[in-house]
Structure 1
Amino acid sequence: MGQNYPLPPQMLDKWARETPDKVYLRQPVNRVYREFTWSQVRDQVLRMANALKKLGLKPGDKVAIMSKNCAEWFIADFAITAAGMISAPIYFTASSKTIRFIIEHSEAKAVFIGKLDDTKPTIEGIPESTIKIAMPYDTAPCDHSWDDLLKNNDPVDQSAQPELDDTFSLSYTSGSTGNPKAAVLTFRNVAYGAITPANELQVTQSDRLISYLPFIGRTLSHLTEL
């Protein structure tokens, strides 16, 4: 059966319960930090998970994320998991052709759109039928706003409880040698990738991580930050 590892939703619940007021994420906006505690992140995750369900999505559905690194990227990813869905991140400089291919190939029903340098490819690449959710930044026109969905939805009672070998995410290559190809990542993959470096580096609760490399990098090279 292999070794068991704590999964992302379990760890979020753990730290929100044990250190609710401790800062988890810091997001610079206009050179000023916005801070998110563990309990605040969990609350937003559970509200956004409920919002996805209220928008008609079902467990097992795919949801894309297209944004530069930001606190909301983490929260959206957690929310997709909490709703029992599967993320399909898209590199933030992808062309409209690549964006459309990934959304159609993954069968993503919705996409979170966040910080982008150029929104034109995004607007052109996302099919009309795909639900578009705008993170709280200047972004492409969307069907729903992040803040409104958080305000208008109560938290779900409980996060989905995935198994280690359930699919966590579809991570696509850049498409430089043809159409992008999806690597299927399980919860076991990401759990092992998180716990092993932390143990080897002897990371403590007082340590900090600066998020620099894009979450979804060319040839999957930056996935370990997830």
Structure 2
Amino acid sequence: MASSSPSSSITSNLVSSPFYPSSFSKFSSLPLLSFSQTVKPFPKTSKLLYRTLNNQTTVVKAQTVDFAGSFYEGGIGSDDDPDSAIGSGTMTAVEEKETPPCPPGLRQYETMAVLRPDMSEDERLALTQKYEELLVAGGGMYVEVFNRGVIPLAYSIKKKNKAGESNTYLDGIYLLFTYFTKPESMAVLEATLKADDDVIRSSSFKVIKRNKVIHNGKSRNHAGVGDVDLP
């Protein structure tokens, strides 16, 4: 009968030992945790890109409205309802296009006129043509008129006509005139608008040319409207 060798006895004892590596096989089904992917801070370029997108959004909004810096920006009325007043910041009738260069000796102006809400379409067209001809006769160029329709006023306006009758208006037809003209012709336009029974309220503004200013490495557009020392 063959006797077992010392080496086989040692091997048998090692296999039965609780420290044999096979005893850890029951843990093989457990998921392994990997720390190879770590959270990295956002690169600085992301912040700059966010600012760039914001600038683009602002620019797009200004181009769509096309009245940034004019009297339509922050005008009378509430901004909550875009159909309630001229300060709503929207102008659906206006198409995007580049402002023509100012002719020599002329200045750029905008005139807002609020007409009686009960005017017929023919009456409104006749009034529009009347003031277009008045502007051209005074040396005006590039005259354009934008009709916003009937809009509620921010507050009631009471006006007395030439016959001495007083009327209180709660809404009106809003017209915007944009044009270039001689400064000395503005007095005639203002006097005619004020004496017109069909015009509830009017305001004229001198448009300041849009300038691009570089501030802290950023390009910003600045535009304004001057209603002081008109014309």
What TM-score does the superposition give when structure 2 sets the normalisation length?
Answer: 0.25
Larger Rg: 2
